[in-house]
């Protein structure tokens, strides 16, 4: 089932190739790293014809391995200028597997500004002029597409942001209810889809699902069962997340003093209870929303949610910790309904909620609006909807917007906004922000909760980050959700995973071979970025984090450039 579908948007041609077993051990982020190095000029214009956009699934896709249906979207990022893998849940990855495609590779771009729907079934892709969908945002778009193409399709689409090539554009993915609430959010991947003249990629229902072949199916089932038990026994993935969603992190990150508050000027928020996962859970049980909602069928973690408004009407879904902290405490906003509205608007327009939160924080720092001004935040988001001149500036993300506004305190690395953990009080994640080829990205290696090193101490953080980055790159290549990796703190579960690899693919497997997948991935990503012009000078945190102590614990980020340079030494 290792078929590659290549779509050329200059010639409107398609090509399907069965790659046999050649790509068995490449998937997700690792496959992207390989293909970007082999096929894309690292110096190309990210929005030009030489860039490619790769949708792909992971190494364990097509197996019952828990959460193994993740989608990876890869490209050269218009936000960072480096390699990008944006990872999404939702239905698209699973449907690709059903259709027998390991990768869908979008190449070239139309000469004119034509806009297409790309419709894909097992046998072919077709190009449908999308003029009647131009200018629609994602919620309306998905509704209309489901009407026209039937409600069994699965969609990856852009809103107006992607059409306009905003550097903060996401690709929104159908969730289990057919809504565009899941996102390949970071790095401007939506702008690349837009630059290729594609409004939406539609996957039709598979007529004959592809069957996966195992070296030893019984052994796989056994190991897989053990691994699922490991996930369920883990406190975070088995208990806290199903109960409270990812927003369960709000309280402990605040206690740690690492919650972003008022554009990363404090680590502790006095109205933290109002935006906590516990509060969401309470509120939604009153309103008929839900926690414990899976972004894909069969997920044992089910960290997602459906958030209803005061009238019990659907407002948004996949309302996550990062969105809440960066658009809540980071903006001095404690009104959950307003933050949820921001989430909805971002999904609708097709922009990354995290980058948006960082950018609004920078606008507040510049005095465009005040901290705590929720209506002001909505109004700035409105400028992006309306494509005003300043709206375009906001839509290019925190680093560029902040630079124009003359803001000195800009929370970004490689032009990508920080995730919702202040690195001064969570130093391992800070090392990851600085050194990952992705730009400030928590999913590249978040060290939160690791008991081996105090998050305030500099000692050991480079090693901790390196190990976590390798683990995350491995999971991103397996095509599994990083939340399914918490349980690997227990070696028993690593052994289950090793058994799964062995029983799926055969051959000798151990931990070195397993995590070698992550090492190889990062190494290729670094190679691409180096060829794109990145140097170790780009591996640094914002200057203010080195000299401005973060209340309440008054930590600064004190890991030097030289020390950082020994992270991910592959």
CA-based R_g, the chain, Å: 22
Nearest-angstrom CA–CA distance, 557 and 430 = 8
Q: Which two tokens stand for residue 24?
A: 């068995």
CB of 306: closest distance to a copy of itself in angstroms?
A: 35
C-beta separation of 347 from 169 below 8 A? no
Residue with Cβ nearer a copy of itself (540 or 555): 540
Instruction: Return the number of the residue (34 or 109) whose C-beta is nearest a copy of itself.
Output: 109
CA distance 434 to 429: 9
Q: Indicate whether 400 belongs to the interface with a copy of itself (CB under 8 A).
A: yes
Question: Contacting a copy of itself (CB under 8 A), which of 20, 21, 151, 389?
Answer: 389
* Sole binder of a copy of itself in the list 150, 382, 533, 552 (CB under 8 A): 533
Measured from the CB atom, is 10 or 531 closer to a copy of itself? Answer: 531
DSSP line for 100-145? TEEEEEEE---SS---EEEEE-SS-EEEEE-GGGTT--HHHHHHHH
Residues 199-228 that bind a copy of itself (CB under 8 A): none
- Closest to a copy of itself by CB, 50 vs 271, is 50
User: What mask of x and - would describe binding to a copy of itself in positions 41 to 80, judged by CB under 8 A?
Assistant: -xx-x-xx--------------------------------
* From 11, 225, 233, 408, residue interacting with a copy of itself (rule: CB under 8 A): 408
User: Which residues 6+ apart lie within 8 Å of 552 measured at CB?
Assistant: 257, 266, 267, 268
* Residue 11 to residue 13: CA distance in whole angstroms: 5
Which window, 86-94, 292-300, 396-404, 458-466, contacts a copy of itself (CB under 8 A)? 396-404
Helix (H) or strand (E) holding 56, with range, is strand 53-56
Query: Whole-angstrom Cα distance, residue 288 to residue 285?
Result: 5
Taking Cα atoms as reference points, which of 453, 403, 456 lies closest to residue 427?
456
For position 560 contacting a copy of itself by CB under 8 A, the verdict is no
- Select the residue interacting with a copy of itself from 164, 199, 293, 341 (CB under 8 A): 164
Site mask, a copy of itself, residues 264-303, x = CB under 8 A?
Answer: ----------------------------------------
Asked whether position 112 contacts a copy of itself by CB under 8 A, the answer is no
**Could you tell me how many residues of this chain bind a copy of itself (CB under 8 A)?**
30
Q: Is 165 one of the binding residues for a copy of itself (CB under 8 A)?
A: yes
Closest CA to 7 of 160, 203, 180, 161: 203
Q: Is the peptide bond before 490 cis (omega within 30 degrees of 0)?
A: no
Cβ proximity to a copy of itself, 209 vs 530, nearer residue? 530
- For residues 290 and 390, what is the distance between their CA atoms, to the nearest angstrom? 37
The distance of closest approach from Cβ of residue 133 to a copy of itself in the complex, given in angstroms and rounded to an integer, is 20
Torsion of CA 354, 356, 357, 361, to 10 degrees: 140
96 neighbors 71 (Cβ within 8 angstroms):
yes
The tokens for 290 are 């839900």
Q: Nearest to residue 231, comparing CAs of 280, 298, 282?
A: 298
Q: Considering only residues 223-262, where is the footprint of a copy of itself by CB under 8 A? A: none
- Give whichever of 98 and 396 is closer to a copy of itself, judged by the CB atom: 396
**368 sits near a copy of itself (criterion: CB under 8 A):** yes
Q: What are phi and psi of 25, to 5 degrees?
A: -100, 20
C-beta of 530: minimal distance to a copy of itself in Å?
A: 8
In whole angstroms, what separates CA 203 from the centre of its chain? Answer: 21
Cβ-contact 318, 182 below 8 angstroms = yes
Instruction: Out of 200, 251, 538, 545, point to the residue binding a copy of itself (CB under 8 A).
Output: 538
The residue within the footprint of a copy of itself, chosen from 111, 298, 531, 549 (CB under 8 A), is 531
Show the binding pattern over residues 483-522: x = contacts a copy of itself (CB under 8 A), - = does not: ----------------------------------------
> Smallest gap, in angstroms, from Cβ of residue 361 to a copy of itself?
17
Least distance between a copy of itself and beta carbon 543 (Å): 5
| Closer CB to a copy of itself, 47 or 338, in the complex | 47
Position among 6, 392, 513, 527 found at the interface with a copy of itself (CB under 8 A): 392
Q: Which residues pair with 327 in a beta bridge?
A: none
Site track 411-450 with a copy of itself (rule: CB under 8 A), x = hit: ----------------------------------------
- Cα–Cα distances (Å) from 166 to 208, 347, 383, 400, 517, in that order, read 38, 14, 13, 12, 33
User: Which range, of 225-233, 294-302, 338-346, 387-395, touches a copy of itself by CB under 8 A?
Assistant: 387-395
Q: Does 532 bind a copy of itself (CB under 8 A)?
A: yes
Longest CA–CA separation in the chain, Å: 62
Q: Which residues bind a copy of itself (CB under 8 A)?
A: 42-43, 45, 47-48, 164-165, 167, 368, 389-390, 392-393, 396, 400, 403-406, 408, 531-535, 537-538, 540, 543, 561
């Amino acid at each position: 089932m290792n078929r590659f579908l290549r779509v050329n948007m200059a010639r409107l041609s398609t090509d399907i190739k069965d790659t046999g077993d050649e790509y068995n051990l490449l998937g997700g982020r690792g496959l992207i790293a390989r293909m970007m190095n082999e096929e894309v000029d690292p110096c190309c214009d990210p929005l030009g014809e030489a860039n490619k956009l790769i949708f792909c699934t992971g190494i364990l896709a097509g197996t019952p391995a828990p959460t193994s249906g993740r989608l990876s979207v890869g490209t050269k990022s218009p936000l960072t200028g480096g390699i990008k893998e944006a990872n999404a849940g939702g239905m698209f990855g699973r449907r690709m597997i059903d259709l027998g495609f390991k990768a869908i590779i979008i190449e070239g771009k139309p000469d004119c500004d034509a806009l297409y729907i790309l419709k894909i079934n097992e046998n072919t892709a077709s190009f449908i002029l999308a003029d009647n969908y131009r200018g629609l945002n994602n919620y309306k778009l998905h509704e209309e597409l489901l009407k026209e193409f039937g409600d069994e399709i699965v969609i990856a689409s852009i809103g107006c942001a992607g059409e306009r090539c905003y550097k903060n554009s996401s690709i929104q993915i159908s969730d289990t209810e057919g809504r565009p609430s899941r996102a390949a959010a970071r790095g401007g991947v939506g702008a690349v889809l837009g630059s290729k003249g594609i409004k939406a990629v539609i996957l039709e229902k598979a007529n004959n699902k592809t069957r996966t072949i195992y070296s030893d199916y019984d052994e796989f089932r056994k190991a897989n069962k053990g691994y699922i038990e490991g996930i369920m026994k883990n406190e975070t993935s088995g208990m806290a997340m199903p109960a409270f969603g990812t927003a369960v992190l709000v309280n402990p990150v605040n206690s740690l003093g690492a919650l972003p508050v008022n554009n990363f000027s404090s680590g502790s928020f006095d109205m933290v209870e109002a935006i906590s996962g516990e509060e969401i859970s309470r509120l939604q049980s009153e309103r008929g929303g839900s926690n414990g909602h899976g972004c894909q069928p069969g997920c044992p973690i089910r960290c997602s949610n459906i958030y209803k408004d005061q009238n019990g009407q659907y407002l948004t879904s996949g309302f996550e910790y990062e969105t809440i902290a960066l658009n809540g405490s980071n903006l001095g906003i404690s009104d959950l309904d307003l933050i949820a509205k921001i989430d909805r608007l971002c999904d609708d327009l097709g922009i990354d909620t995290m980058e948006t939160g960082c950018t609004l924080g920078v606008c507040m720092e510049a005095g465009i609006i005040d901290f705590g001004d929720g209506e002001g935040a909505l109004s700035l988001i409105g400028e992006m909807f309306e494509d005003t001149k300043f709206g375009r500036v906001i839509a290019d993300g925190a680093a560029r917007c902040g630079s124009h506004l003359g803001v000195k305190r800009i929370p970004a690395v490689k032009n990508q906004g920080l995730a919702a953990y202040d690195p001064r009080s969570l130093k391992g994640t800070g090392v990851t922000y600085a050194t990952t080829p992705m730009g400030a990205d928590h999913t590249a290696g978040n060290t939160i909760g690791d008991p081996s090193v105090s998050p305030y101490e500099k000692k050991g953080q480079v090693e901790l980050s390196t190990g976590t980055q390798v683990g995350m790159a491995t999971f991103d290549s397996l095509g599994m959700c990083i939340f399914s990796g918490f349980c690997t703190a227990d070696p028993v579960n690593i052994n289950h995973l090793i058994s799964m690899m062995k029983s799926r693919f055969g051959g000798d497997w151990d931990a070195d071979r397993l995590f070698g997948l992550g090492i190889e991935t990062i190494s290729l990503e670094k190679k691409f970025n180096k060829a794109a012009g990145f140097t170790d000078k780009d591996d640094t945190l914002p200057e203010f984090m080195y000299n401005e102590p973060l209340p309440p614990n008054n930590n600064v980020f004190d890991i030097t450039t030289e020390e950082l340079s020994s992270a991910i030494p592959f």
